[in-house]
Amino acid sequence: MTYETPMIHILLSRWRQGHRTLTYPKVVPRLPERFRGLPRIQAEKCPEGCRACADACPTETIQLGPAGPQVNLGRCLFCPECSEACPEGAIHYSQDHRLAASTCDDLMVVPGEDYRRAHAMGAELKRVLGRSLKLRVVSAGGCNGCEVDVNVLGTIAWDLGRFGIQYVASPRHADGLLITGPVTKNMELALRKTYDAVPHPKIVIAVGACAIQGGPFFRQAEQLGGASSVVPVDLYIPGCPPHPLTILDGLLRFLGKLGTEGKRA
């Protein structure tokens, strides 16, 4: 014997839940205290000749230049090793989630310089893709960390579709690729064929440290060092993994849909 839930109960339950989709980008949600975003570097605090931060970094992310330590977000795992190793607290992670960049060179955090965030796609590309963007997600050897945060954007809390962005099953139905993972040798041919199957004009987005420069696997011979070793990349979204808010910010920034920054919750 089966029992059916009266429609009134379903409607009342939905009413009690209220509006569950984030109001971003109008309002930036409050991030947890442990969130690590854009690094801040106070070079004036660095002791002369100190290499503590660079030596502590597991992925050789930090370069020591005349202006002080420089952090390459393309390879950064956003672990606390550098900030904990610094004897003067010259490096710390802020709550700034806006990390996406248009080129690998722009991923460098240099003391005293503004971080160069991603710019919008060109006018002609925006005319074709700006209102409806279909992406084929390719996991090219990832650990599933970035894949989880990419997928969560499709849930009711984030509702990626309200911005005209959708994931599709076939590259022939896509406007571009969203790539995670360091691109293993076993995935190289599959990635090339998937890219070739996407009709022109097309874009490529690299999500996570692995897809940008190999991440923690950058020394391993079994991987190729990121998506740009196989296909041209138009947008880089760093992190290990990047927060869903960081991914969404990068996508909207690339589409030119952000405008003025929203207030924080």
| Residue 133, domain CATH | 3.40.50.12280
What range defines the domain where residue 199 resides? 123-264
Token pair listed for 23: 């109001």
Q: Which amino acid is at 28?
A: V
The answer to whether residue 149 sits within a structural domain is yes
Res. 4 pLDDT band, cuts 50 70 90: low
Res. 220 pLDDT band, cuts 50 70 90: very high
Per residue in 26-35, pLDDT tens?
889 899 999 9
Which whole number is the average pLDDT over 184-213? 97
The answer to whether residue 257 sits within a structural domain is yes
Q: Which of the two residues, 67 and 102, has the higher pLDDT score?
A: 102
Which whole number is the average pLDDT over 198-227? 95
Region at 38 (left for phi over 0; alpha for psi -120 to 50; beta for the rest): beta
User: How much is the pLDDT for 263?
Assistant: 59
pTM: 0.91
Spatial CA neighbour of 59 closest among 42, 49, 74: 74
User: How much is the pLDDT for 61?
Assistant: 94
The answer to whether residue 12 sits within a structural domain is no
Identify the weakest region by mean pLDDT among 40-44, 173-177, 190-194, 203-207: 40-44
Rounded to the nearest 5°, which phi and psi values hold at 166?
Answer: -140, 150
The residues, ordered by sequence, that sit 6+ positions from 139 with a Cβ below 8 Å of its Cβ are: 147, 180, 181
Judged against a pLDDT cut of 60, whether residue 265 lies above it is answered with no
| Residues above pLDDT 70, as percent of the chain | 95
> β-pairing, 176-180 with 203-207?
parallel
Q: How far apart (Å, rounded) are the C-alpha atoms in residues 224 and 188?
A: 8
If residue 82 lies in a helix (H) or strand (E), which one and from where to where?
Answer: helix 81-85
Domain count, the chain: 1
User: How much is the pLDDT for 119?
Assistant: 94
The answer to whether residue 117 sits within a structural domain is no
